């Protein structure tokens, strides 16, 4: 099968959707499909690369409009490329319009990763066109049932939606840290881009209430300087370790050596919380926040972890203290998370489910 994925960025750009597109495309190529990914480059130069069996076309980028790279060449390529399935990854209005006006695959499938949350003006202007795109698509993939019910866009198309959660490869065995930490319930871990909606400020604000907790933060982003200053102001900087970007092997070690994984998200921009899958695969309990997206569906409250209201440091502290003080509860929830990951969130399960969506779209 010839498959064309369209999105704005691809590896080496790292992000939730970018990682998903890469994992899916490479897995499909490994199954002997002919897979092309059409994205923008980071400059005005175009290039074509073969990356792990996937043909990646990076078209020239002229400017960004509300985080949406504009490229005339992307429209030209959408008209030229031949595929049986075009798989759009939304939100990316430019790519969606390119396929709507110029695409001619046998069927178009669209994964609706997230509403347009922060760019409210652009979202209001684009929504009527988006509904036309969704009307034309043969199938709409949603990553959780929660998002179908809470998105103002998807509720209109719920009968057209197929639910396919994100998936990741089963991790290999982690390395052992040079200085192993004691598993005494005190080690907290956050992993993610340091963006406004991640809610790390709320997690830092919770730390004074749990003075024996140690927090490791993995990732970089636009809020890093502000949040480091906040840690100093709150008097918790000595208990917070900022690791920045780290290698995959080191990241696996961090998951293995933490006691509790924390995703203190504060806005609907956190649509799924894929980092929770990595924590579940490592058998770790999770504390996350219910922002009325897939986050609280992935981490099931009182089963795989605890779910608190967003923007509530007191509730975060209470949930963390409960897990920190109860080793048996941590073990039980960690085991339940590992079982849920194996059943629902592996890469193989996701690829198989996407394949069924494609088959139905082509019939």
Q: Under 8 Å CB-to-CB from 67, ≥6 apart: which residues?
A: 119
Residue 328 token pair: 């048996």
Quick check: 46 pLDDT over 50? Answer: yes
329 backbone φψ class: left, alpha, beta (φ>0; ψ -120 to 50): alpha
Quick check: 249 pLDDT over 60? Answer: yes
**For residue 91, is the peptide bond before it cis, meaning its omega torsion is within 30 degrees of 0?**
yes
13 backbone φψ class: left, alpha, beta (φ>0; ψ -120 to 50): beta
Q: Which domains does the chain have, with CATH numbers?
A: 2-169+346-362 (3.40.50.2000), 187-344 (3.40.50.2000)
Contact of 109 with 89, CB cutoff 8 Å = no
Quick check: 182 pLDDT over 90? Answer: no
pLDDT category at 180 given cuts 50, 70, 90 is: very low
Nearest to 141 by CA among 109, 102, 104, 169: 109
| pLDDT tens track for 259-301 | 999 999 999 999 999 999 999 999 999 999 999 999 999 999 9
**R_g of the chain computed on alpha carbons:** 21
Q: What is the predicted pLDDT for the residue at 279?
A: 97
Q: What percent of the chain has pLDDT over 90?
A: 89
Q: What percent of the chain has pLDDT over 70?
A: 95
- Cα dihedral: 16, 141, 345, 93 (round 10): 0
Mean pLDDT of 136-157: 96
Vertex 109, ends 103 and 112: CA angle to 5°? 115
Mean pLDDT of 213-227: 97
Interstrand relation of 63-65 and 187-191 (parallel, antiparallel or unpaired): unpaired
Q: What is the predicted pLDDT for the residue at 121?
A: 66
Determine which of 48-52, 187-191, 235-239, 248-252 has the lowest per-residue pLDDT on average: 248-252
Contact of 143 with 272, CB cutoff 8 Å = yes
Tell me how crowded residue 109 is: count the other CB atoms within 10 A of its CB. Answer: 24
Contact of 5 with 19, CB cutoff 8 Å = no
């Amino acid at each position: 099968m010839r498959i064309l994925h369209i999105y704005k960025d691809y590896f080496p750009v790292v992000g939730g959707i970018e990682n998903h597109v890469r994992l899916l495309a490479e897995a499909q190529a490994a199954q002997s499909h002919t897979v092309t990914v059409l994205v923008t480059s980071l400059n005005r130069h175009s290039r074509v690369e073969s990356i792990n069996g996937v043909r990646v076309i990076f078209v020239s980028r002229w400017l960004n409009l509300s985080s949406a790279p504009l490229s005339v060449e992307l429209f030209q390529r959408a008209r030229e490329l031949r595929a049986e399935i075009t798989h759009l990854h939304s939100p990316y209005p430019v790519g969606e319009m390119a396929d709507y006006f110029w695409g001619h695959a046998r069927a178009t499938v669209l994964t609706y990763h997230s509403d347009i949350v922060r760019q409210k003006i652009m979202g209001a202007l684009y929504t009527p066109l988006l509904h036309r795109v969704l009307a034309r698509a043969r199938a709409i993939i949603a990553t959780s049932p929660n998002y179908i019910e809470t998105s103002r866009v998807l509720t209109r198309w719920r009968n057209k939606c197929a639910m396919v959660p994100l998936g990741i490869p089963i991790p290999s065995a982690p390395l052992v840290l040079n200085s192993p930490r004691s598993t005494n319930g005190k080690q907290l871990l956050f992993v993610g881009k340091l963006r406004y909606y991640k809610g790390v400020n709320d997690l830092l604000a919770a730390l004074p209430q749990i003075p024996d907790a140690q927090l490791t933060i993995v990732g970089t982003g636009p809020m890093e300087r502000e949040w480091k200053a906040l840690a100093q102001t709150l008097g918790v900087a000595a208990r917070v370790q900022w690791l920045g970007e780290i290698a995959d092997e080191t990241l696996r070690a961090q998951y293995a050596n933490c006691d509790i994984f924390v995703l203190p998200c504060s806005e609907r921009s956190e649509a799924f919380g894929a980092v929770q899958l990595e924590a579940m695969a490592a058998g770790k309990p999770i504390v996350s926040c219910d922002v009325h997206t897939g986050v609280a569906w992935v981490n099931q409250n009182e089963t795989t972890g605890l779910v608190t209201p967003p923007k509530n440091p007191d509730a975060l502290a209470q949930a963390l203290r409960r897990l920190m003080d109860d080793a048996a509860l941590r073990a039980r929830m960690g085991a339940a998370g590992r079982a849920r990951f194996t059943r629902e969130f592996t890469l193989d399960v996701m690829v198989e489910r996407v394949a069924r969506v494609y088959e139905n779209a082509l019939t």
